Structures are given as C-alpha cells and as structure tokens.
C-alpha cells in the first residue's frame, strides 16, 4: 500500500512544461472534442480541411499526443479547452 501511495504521489507531483496552443489550434480541438470531423471543423471555421489537419498535427506535437483523440484528452486534462 505504501508503494502505491508513493507512486501516486510522484505521478501527481510531476510538473509538465506549459504548452501554448494557438487560438486556432484550440478552436479546432474544441470542435473535434464535440465529435466534428475535419471537414465539419473546416466548414465551421471557414478554413480548408488540410489547414484543419495541420492545426491538429501541430497541437498533437505540442501536447506529445499519439493521435487526435489523445490530443483532445491532453488539452482537456491541461485545461486548455473547456
């Protein structure tokens, strides 16, 4: 039990470097978090699908995420998107 407590404490004590997403990356991740596809996000924001993909990839790199779902989860966990 003590080992588990130590691991838990260490996990929560770690600090992560701050991530700075652009306003557009945040807007794209918000839309994706609601279930929007790239095409739907592009239409809602008045930009191209490839531009949406670019914003998602950029956010993934900044958040060290493996895929777009992981990027959304990380952004939510870090309170970068509501």
pLDDT, one tens digit per residue, over 4-54 is 776 666 656 567 778 899 999 999 999 999 999 999 999 999 999 999 999
pLDDT at 63 over 60: yes
Helix H or strand E segment including 53? helix 49-63
Q: What radius of gyration do the chain's Cα atoms show?
A: 15
Query: Cα 50 from chain centroid?
Result: 18
Give the per-residue pLDDT at 13: 55
Q: Lowest-pLDDT range, 1-10, 59-68, 70-79? A: 1-10
Give the per-residue pLDDT at 81: 93
Contact 31, 41 (CB under 8 A): yes
pTM listed for this prediction = 0.79
Contact 41, 30 (CB under 8 A): no
Contact 52, 38 (CB under 8 A): yes
Question: In whole angstroms, what is the distance from residue 27 CA to residue 21 CA?
Answer: 10
């Amino acid at each position: 039990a003590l080992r588990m407590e130590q691991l838990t404490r260490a996990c929560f004590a770690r600090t992560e470097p701050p991530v700075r997403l652009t306003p557009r990356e945040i807007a794209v991740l918000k839309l994706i978090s609601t279930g929007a596809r790239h095409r739907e996000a592009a239409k809602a924001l008045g930009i191209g699908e490839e531009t949406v993909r670019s914003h998602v990839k950029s956010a993934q790199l900044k958040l060290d995420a493996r895929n777009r779902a992981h990027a959304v989860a990380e952004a939510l966990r870090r309170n970068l998107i509501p």
